[in-house]
Amino acid sequence: MADLKVNEIRIPDLIVDGRRLETATTFDVVNPATGRVFAQAPLASRDDLDTAVAAARRAFPEWARTPIDERAAAVLEIAQAIEAEREPLARLLSAEQGKPIHGGAAGEIMGALVWARATAKLRPVVETVRDDDTALVQVHRKPLGVVGSITPWNHPVMIAVWHIMPALIAGNTIVVKPSSYTPLSTLRLVEIANAHLPPGVLNSVAGEGGLGRAIAEHPGIDKIVFTGSTPTGRSIMASGSANLKRLTLELGGNDAAIVLPDADIDAIAPKIFAKSFGNSGQTCAALKRLYVHESLHDQLAGRLSALAREARLGPGDDPASQFGPVQNRAQFDFVCELADDARANGGRFLVGGQPLAGDGYFFPLSIVVDVSDGTRVVDEEQFGPILPIIRYSDPEDALARANANENGLGGSIWSSDIDAATAMAQRLECGTAWVNDHATISPDAPFGGAKQSGIGAEFGLHGLDEYMQLQTLRIGRG
């Protein structure tokens, strides 16, 4: 792939009712590798949002009546069009998000294609509850109406696909608002998709401040799907209560992993490293708290530290870069704050622990030991490249500490005894439990959080159900 130059960037438009929407003003988009503004994105007003919702409502009846095989064919056409533009889309994604073009951004685009194509195969189930001489009773699934999608800055193309494609298959129309930190690649995705959809089926707005709250409150929106922080999810839930919006909330995670004393360090160290630091730790389901038995603690901490020292950080357009910056200044400052607090409370960084000098929001991959529960870097989701390693002696105590956190997105057990690890994994209080793995997801298996990590599920038929309303049909006989 060629490097992205600032003067090569075409700013994507907002698309409403199948047409470009003119906006009166714009807002800044910052390249996190430099910390400087590199583009201006169109800023939608509340009136623009009303226009987008009205377009989606007009388009809904016809799209809902469109046979599902035709809707699926449109999704497959969208996937084909994304694939045709995967290289410029990856460069645009890298410029605004920071992840390396080669691997990170390109991998996200290819993952989005896998999800879109898998989602196109889904078909809602019609359940027959009763079929006898007196009645036929069936449970059908029908589209909800207008879906409001609010996407985050860590995976702006992939997560938009997670929201949009099942909504389309289910027969809903959509208004999507990307994060104001990373609006461009999502807006471009909507542009690409609109060439294969009727006007008004998929609309985009973008902005700062209260636009997300306005979507949550809007009486013309029937469902919100949101990926992001738990506090914002609570706010959306409160704002959406006025018209009892359906909600799918995939919220914060502070995933714990427990390494049992019989684990094979040689086998697990590279996997734990990859699952902790992918996307520079900016993944909801990343491994964020590592509980290691005292007999293995020092060895595993040393192996992970060596891998972190070898990692190449740099701007996304440098082919040598393996890891990019923290995406935005606020998150960068938060990661620095957690590192400072860990040191102040006796934490010892085996590698990293201080921001890098120079431009951009670069924080090195960091391993901190001599910390435990009660320290902020353990108790709070870092969402950045710091991994705390917590020593333990009793596996039951480690399990209790893993479960004590208010979050419950995912968790994992690492062991050479698969049966024992599986039994312990099933006692983790989280939406997904892994054995000798972490953060691996697939489009056919539901993914969602327990406790404060969210409501509902994504992916597969369980995820498709989130975009549909049950309707019981009773046909009397005799």
CA atoms within 13 A on the CB side of 460: 10
pLDDT of residue 209: 76
Split into its structural domains, the chain has a count of 2
Q: What is the CATH number of the domain that holds 66?
A: 3.40.605.10
pLDDT per residue over 77-86, tens digit each? 999 999 999 9
Q: What mean pLDDT comes out for the span 53-72?
A: 98
How do beta strands 366-369 and 348-351 pair?
antiparallel
Q: Is 343 exposed, middle or buried (0-12, 13-18, 19+ CB in 10 A)?
A: middle
455 contacts: CB under 8 Å, gap ≥ 6: 233, 237, 247, 248, 249, 448, 449
Could you tell me how far CA 30 lies from the centroid of its own chain? 20
Residues 35 and 50 in one domain: yes
Q: Which DSSP string corresponds to 56-108?
A: HHHHHHHHHHS-HHHHHHHHHHHHHHHHHTHHHHHHHHHHHH---IIIIIHHH
Length of the chain: 478
- At 137-192, the pLDDT tens digits run 999 999 999 999 999 999 999 999 999 999 999 999 999 999 999 999 999 999 99
Question: What pLDDT shows up at residue 8?
Answer: 64
- Structure confidence at residue 7 (pLDDT): 45
Domain extent at residue 270: 255-442
What is the β-pairing status of strands 287-293 and 348-351? unpaired
Is residue 275 a contact partner of residue 284, using CB atoms and an 8 Å limit?
Answer: no
Any bridge partners for residue 139, and if so which? Answer: 127, 472
Residue 93 resides in a domain: yes
Shared-domain flag, residues 231 and 267: no
Would you say residue 32 lies in a domain?
A: yes
Q: Above 90 in pLDDT, residue 239? A: yes
Q: How far apart are CA 474 and CA 415, in angstroms?
A: 51
| Same domain for 157 and 266 | no
> Is 48 part of any domain?
yes
> Residue written as tokens 């099942």?
166
What share of the chain in percent tops pLDDT 70? 98
Cβ neighbours of residue 10 closer than 8 Å, sequence gap 6 or more: none
Residues tagged active-site: 250, 284
Q: Are residues 383 and 317 in the same domain?
A: yes
| Residue 447 maps to a domain | no
Cβ atoms 402, 289 nearer than 8 A = yes
Q: Whole-number mean pLDDT of the chain?
A: 96
Q: 407 and 271, same structural domain?
A: yes
> Are 177 and 270 members of one domain?
no
Tens-place pLDDT, residues 185-207: 999 999 999 999 999 999 999 99
**Given a cut of 70, is residue 108 above it in pLDDT?**
yes
For residue 309, the domain's CATH number is 3.40.309.10
Whether residues 242 and 270 share a domain: the answer is no
pLDDT (0 to 100) of residue 10: 84
Residues 196 and 334 in one domain: no
Whether 239 maps to a domain, the answer reads: yes
